[in-house]
Structure 1
Amino acid sequence: MYQTLNQTKEKQIQREEICLEDSLKSLIEVTEPYYSLTNLSIDEENVLKADVNKQLDCAHEVKGMSYSEAGRHLAILGSLALAKSNPVKEKHYYLATKAYVKRVYQQAYDEIEHVGYMSTIHFDRKKGIAKGYLNTKTGKKVYTITVEYQVLSWRLFERMFKQHKQETPCLEGYNPYAESIPLFDLKTSEDSSSATLGVINKDICVGHFDDYPALPVARIAQVLTSIAGIQNNASGLTEPMKIKHVILYAKSFLFAGETMSVKSVLESSTESSDENVIDTFAFSNDDTEYSARLTCWI
């Protein structure tokens, strides 16, 4: 009898989780495979919780989930938290414009399964802020994060970016987010580096966004982390990076069909503490103003 009651309760919880996830997912403009959260739930303090697995190996960072991938999953979870806080229950674009990410657990680790937690700390009609953290399933707190978002209704977004509307590819079974984005035309020196991605293919933007494919901010961060790692090596450090914290600014989109270039600058290096500060920038087409900036403290 007790077993039957427990099974009934578990099934009810599963139904509630599915209902919560479906209702919140319908309010954001991010889909699979970019969206990969599972077992979404919420506690009495309105903290959203979701399971997520590490998908990407980052050669330039110590083992474990990379900064950029952690930012990807937590920013999506944060957008769900904002969607729940938004009194207007229709689809919006929650666009990450700034993020501060700190790595709490500095050691390398091999665990794949993680749990993310995010909650709203500010919301108004145009802006939202969410914060939270990422643990391994065994309880290691790996990252803390605060993300700022611009909030746009789907109508306003489509008016603003109608020139970028294009057919969204249907790539069943393909997950570009499990692969690093390669760099080309790489040039390095002790204090700066540069490279290009060429033209952004809409296949690597799948799930972000439907009909308006754009390279996700977290994927731009992955590329910027790569150029930071290359810069770190060029400055004489050969071990994988143990990044202490990063600040990311995203000023504009990089849509499919546009070209992207990146550069890094070694801002400071202290031999006594082995700490480097590396600034990295992403540019669209031939723009002189950056689209995104990532500063890493290593």
Structure 2
Amino acid sequence: MFDLLDDARAASEEAETWRGGSLNEKGSGEGRALIGSFGQILKERDVVDTSSNPEKRQSSGFVDIEVEEICRRITVQPPYFAFKRLRENTLGEIYGEFIVEQPLGSETGPVTAAEIGRHLAILGSCAAAQIDHHLTYYLATHASYIRLREPLIKTHGELLQANARVVRFNHRSLEVDSYVSDGAPFARLTVRYQCLRESLFNRMFEGFRHHPIAVPEASPYVRPVPLSFDTPSATRLVAHSRQLSVNEFAGHFPNYPAWPVAILASCSLRVVGRLIEHRLGRSASYDVLTAELVAHKLIGAATAVSFVATYVSESPIDHRFNVNCDVIADGVVVAEVLTSVRVAN
């Protein structure tokens, strides 16, 4: 286990990164081939052996994970955390199931790319929390999504499977590889995170602090964030969120409510889809083939956000559109989403 680097230098460095600097190198956005076996897990730290924990029970070669405890460690709670059961195998891979709840909009298939990102990013932090039991904020800073094949399940609201494994992990950063399945993997997400222990996060984001928020009876994630759209041009469309209640993002960092990166991605993809429809002159459904997200800054839940989608290129042969979207808060680009989507009709 690594000790927290909690001196003034480390705190200043982390704060500068999240308040104004760039967190990541931009990836290529190109998918990697799916490998049949996950192989050996690579870590830059010692692994905590949980096999002898008497509080866990064995089930078909897997160890059940206590969901309430894992939520405490990753500082994410229901309803944003939507896994009812988690299991871990002997290689440290985490498995879970979730029921699709976010609306599809114009995307095809049983689940949106952004909702896949939401659940897989959470599962990745769960995998890390099985290694390091300290309460830690796992801030997703870079995500690469690729659709591997057309899903077999077609209807919305179905139960899907997910699994994640840690690729690299040290006291400040984490990389996780994860998949969503309907019996076999149909999409892959690779996520990089910045890891902040509780005391450092509390100092950096003291301005986000809010009194405890009651868990809502119904999940707010079953409805899309309201957006207003400006008049589009041929290559550009801007949309705006209003100032939202902190209850809109219930469960995402209790006492420090913030926009989830996956919800920023969800809004971005809706604007991308609307711009494509404008260019086509008709309504259209689409598949997200690849998406690359870079998050530069954490933003509070009550912050109004703008989404600026810009047309890049298209391929008439396979009906593919490349569209980027900048996420802007308080006049600053806080995230970027690069997408490649295929119009399905």
Q: TM-score, normalised by structure 1?
A: 0.89
After the TM superposition, which segments of 4 or more aligned residues of structure 1 sit over 6 Å from their partners?
Answer: none
Conserved? CA contact 1:117–1:134, under 8 Å? yes
- Residue type matched to 1:220 in 2? L
- Deviation at 1:17? 5.7
5 Å-filtered alignment, 1:15-30, equals 19-30=65-76
Structure 1 CA distance for aligned equivalents of residues 289 and 216 of structure 2 = 37
Q: Distance between the aligned counterparts of 1:277 and 1:12, measured in 2?
A: 47
Find out whether 1:176 has 2:220 as its counterpart: yes
- Give the residue type in structure 2 aligned to 1:292: A
Contact preservation (8 Å) 1:254, 1:260: no
1:142 paired residue number: 186
The aligned runs of 1:127-166 (5 Å cut-off) are 127-136=173-182, 139-166=183-210
Query: 1:35 offset after TM fit, Å?
Result: 0.3
Report the alpha carbon displacement of residue 106 of structure 1 after superposing the two structures with TM: 2.8
Of residues 308, 316, 335, the one that matches 1:292 is: 335
Counterpart contact for 1:28–1:80, Cα < 8 Å: yes
Partners of 2:137 and 2:201 within 8 A in 1: yes
1:134 and 1:123 map into 2 onto residues whose CA distance is 22
Q: Which runs of 5+ in 2 are unaligned?
A: 1-55
The answer to whether structure 1 residue 260 and structure 2 residue 305 are counterparts is yes
Q: Using the alignment, how far apart are the partners of 2:159 and 2:299 within structure 1?
A: 30
Identity, in percent, stands at 22
SS at match of 1:290: strand
Cα deviation digits, residues 225-267 of structure 1 (max 9, x gap): 1001101111216321111110011111220232111110001
Match of 1:91 in 2: 135
**More deviation in 145-154 or 192-201?**
192-201
Separation in structure 1 between the aligned mates of residue 218 and residue 67 of structure 2, nearest angstrom:
23
Amino acid at match of 1:206: A
Letter in 1 for 2:336: R
Q: Residue 76 of structure 1: SS of its match in structure 2?
A: helix
- How far did residue 26 of structure 1 move? 2.3
CA distance in 2, matches of 1:167, 1:20: 26
- The Cα of 1:272 is off from its aligned counterpart by 2.7
Q: Which shifted more, 220-229 or 233-242?
A: 233-242
Larger helix percent: 1
Q: CA RMSD in A?
A: 1.9
Q: CA–CA distance in 1 between the matches of 2:150 and 2:235?
A: 25
Matched, 1:238 2:303: no
**Residue-pair matches, total:** 281
Deviation, 1:21, is 2.8
2:87 matched residue in structure 1 = 41
Task: Tell me the equivalent position of 1:4.
Answer: none
> Displacement, 1:274?
1.8
> What SS class does the counterpart of residue 221 from structure 2 fall into?
helix
Gapped runs of 5+ residues in structure 1? 1-10
**Superposed displacement of residue 186, structure 1:** 2.9
CA distance in 2: counterparts of 1:142 and 1:64, whole angstroms: 11
- Report deviation, 1:182: 1.7
